[in-house]
Amino acid sequence: MTDTAVAPTTPPDTATGSAATALGVPTTAKPHSLVLSPVKRSGLAEQLKAGLDAPICLTWELTYACNLQCIHCLSSSGRRDPRELTTTEAEAVIDELQRMQVFYINIGGGEPTIRSDFWHLIDYATDHGVGVKFSTNGSRIDASVARRLAASDYVDVQISIDGADAATNDAVRGEGSLEVAQQAMKHLHNAGFKGFKISVVMTRHNIAQVDELEAMAARFDAELRLTRFRPSGRGADSWYQLHPTEAQQRLLYRWLLDRPEVLTGDSFFHLSALGEPLPGLNLCGAGRVVCLIDPIGDVYACPFVLHDEFRAGSVRDHGGFQRVWQHSELFAELREPQSAGACASCGHFDACQGGCMAAKFFTGIPLDGPDPECVLGHGEPLVDAARSARPSLALDHSRPSPVKLLARNHRAART
Ligand code: SF4
Ligand code: SF4
């Protein structure tokens, strides 16, 4: 799974370059341009809110198949969907992205390397000027794959883990999964791949390990990427047990402020209400600068809102992805100025923007209400009240065996 993050590219001009950097988009070599819509609003954030001709950050989940069954999987992956895009259809999407000058894509899943045409599609994308960052659990990154990846300027890799030790990680991702991920990191490191990403969703149990995670990234010449736990997919249930406490969020905020080099995909902007804004654009990019293509070609406003209400169309529809991105009613609506609703009187609204739409939606809070993790505590009572009214999961590719949070046998979280 994935959200806004990095891959190798050069943002073409100051404005889009800043946008790209703020969103964690690439900073090295790849000459493609972003085309800003002719909007009249002032300020980059306002421009981005009104949408771009092409997404800055496009996540493409290639398959719902996965060899793990993480407790918080945002796409509830496990089983392959028989309607998955064919190789020819996937190539046609890449052709379209090239025409739209989408300069890089985040590929995820499920475990994308499970697709038999995965490497072909990676090569096809880079041969057509579309850089790739793909997220993986590491299980298929052996020494030879690592050498191949290290040799490419246009492919970046993100290894997902959920803790600095096996007890913490494996409780969420399954037994042995940290060892497998670290083996992949070793292969990448030994192959000379500098700057691959180690990506961690922040939970109640691993937030105390941020220093250790930072050290792990340094050990492998990797970059650390921390993202917010949203209650999407299987995370819709596990969020209640795993999402960070208010005190932990404050600690994380201060830790991140001191470390602007840690990537976050702008995902903690709700914490900017605590004071100095965190680096980033501090806006919800859904349908404005980000979106998701799922394995069957459906297009959603962001990777964390896999639900009919946020489905804008399909790449299989007439006009393909470009038509969905540029003309769907849903995206047009999301690009309109949004009501501050219940947050209108909050002095922190400019920084926090009322938080994350996905987090509100899947906890049953109205979209113009406060974020469930509102740092002023306005979300919590609503979460409790709305729990029984949460939307049901529209998409679930989990394998039949129930996913349970494994017992953790490690030190307690710091707060
Ligand atoms: S809905 Fe949440 S995760 Fe999606 S783009 Fe908006 S803020 Fe980010
Ligand atoms: S009340 Fe709304 S705008 Fe203010 S901090 Fe909470 S979520 Fe953010």
Of the candidates 285, 258, 273, the one whose C-alpha atom is nearest the C-alpha of residue 22 is 285
CA proximity to 300, closest of 264, 325, 319 = 325
CA 272 to ligand 2 center in whole angstroms: 10
The string over 218-245, giving b where at least 16 C-beta atoms fall within 10 Å of a residue's C-beta and e elsewhere, is eebebbbbbbbbbbbbbbbbbbeebbbe
Q: How far apart are the CA of 117 and the centre of ligand 1, in A?
A: 30
Q: What SS3 state is found at 166?
A: helix
> What's the burial of 252, exposed, middle or buried (CB within 10 Å: 0-12/13-18/19+)?
buried
Which of 349, 350, 353, 357 to probe ligand 2 with, by most ligand atoms within 8 A of CB? 349
Residue 369 CB partners (closer than 8 Å, separation 6+): 341, 342, 343, 354, 360, 379, 382
* Ligand at shortest distance from the CA of 371: 2
How far is ligand 1, taken at its centre, from the CA of residue 266, in Å? 9
DSSP letter at 3? -
Establish whether the linkage from the previous residue to 110 is cis, with ω within 30° of 0.
Answer: yes
Burial of 259 (0-12, 13-18, 19+ CB in 10 A): middle
Specify the pLDDT at position 401.
72
Cα 95 from Cα 190, distance rounded (Å): 34
Contacts of 4 (CB under 8 A, 6+ apart): 23, 24, 25, 56, 57, 106, 265, 266, 267, 285, 289, 290
Q: Residue 262, exposed/middle/buried by CB under 10 A (0-12, 13-18, 19+)?
A: middle
Tokens 């293509």 correspond to what residue? 293
Q: Is the CB of 48 under 6 A from ligand 1?
A: no
Strand partners, 298: 314
SS3 state of residue 136: strand
pLDDT of residue 405: 54
Testing ligand 2's pocket by substitution, the residue of 272, 346, 350, 380 carrying the most ligand atoms inside 8 A of its CB is 346
* Pocket lining: 360 vs ligand 1, CB cutoff 6 Å: no
Q: How far apart are CA 143 and CA 52, in angstroms?
A: 39
Handedness of CA 333, 339, 341, 343 (dihedral sign): positive
Cβ atoms of residues 302 and 310 within 8 Å = yes
Residue whose CB lies within 8 A of the most ligand 1 atoms, among 1, 282, 356, for a mutation test = 356
Q: What share of the chain is helix, strand, coil (3-state, %, to 5)?
A: 35, 10, 50
Q: Which ligand is nearest to the CA of 74?
A: 1
Q: Is 287 in the pocket of ligand 1 (CB under 6 A)?
A: no
Place of tokens 């406490």: 245
Dist. CA 192 → ligand 1 center (Å) = 34
The atom number, within ligand 2, closest to the CA of 370 reads 7
Alpha helix stretches (DSSP H) within 198-234: 210-219
Ligand 1 pocket, mutate which of 4, 227, 290, 361 (most atoms under 8 A from CB): 290
DSSP string, 356-373: -HHHHHHTT--TTS--TT
CA of 347 to the centre of ligand 2 (A): 8
Please indicate whether residue 284, judged by its CB atom, sits closer than 6 Å to ligand 1: yes
Ligand 2 — pocket residues by CB below 6 A?
273, 343, 346, 348-349, 352, 354-355, 370-371, 374-376, 378
Q: Which two tokens stand for residue 139?
A: 């299980």
Q: Return the pLDDT at 145.
A: 97
Residue 114 one-letter amino acid: I
Counting from 1 in the atom list of ligand 2, the atom nearest the Cα of 353 is: 3
Per-residue pLDDT of the chain (415 residues; tens, 9 = 90+): 333 333 322 222 223 333 444 444 443 433 233 333 334 334 667 777 777 889 988 999 999 999 999 999 898 899 999 999 999 999 999 999 999 999 899 999 999 999 999 999 999 999 999 999 999 999 999 999 999 999 999 999 999 999 999 999 999 999 999 999 999 999 999 999 999 999 999 999 999 999 999 999 999 999 999 999 999 999 999 999 999 999 999 999 999 999 999 999 999 999 999 999 998 888 899 999 999 999 999 999 999 999 999 999 999 999 999 999 999 999 999 999 888 999 999 999 999 999 999 999 999 999 999 999 999 999 999 999 998 888 887 678 888 775 565 555 444 333 3
Nearest to 79 by CA among 239, 230, 295: 295
- The reported pLDDT for the residue numbered 402 is 58
Determine if the pTM surpasses 0.75.
Answer: yes
The number of beta carbons lying within 10 Å of the beta carbon of residue 187 is 20
Say yes or no: CB of residue 357 within 6 Å of ligand 1.
yes
> What does DSSP assign to residue 397?
-
Give the residue carrying structure tokens 């060892």: 179
- Please indicate whether residue 229, judged by its CB atom, sits closer than 6 Å to ligand 1: no
Q: Which residues pair with 293 in a beta bridge?
A: 60, 299
Measure 153 CA to ligand 1 centroid, in angstroms: 29
Q: From the CB of 230, is ligand 1 less than 6 Å away?
A: yes
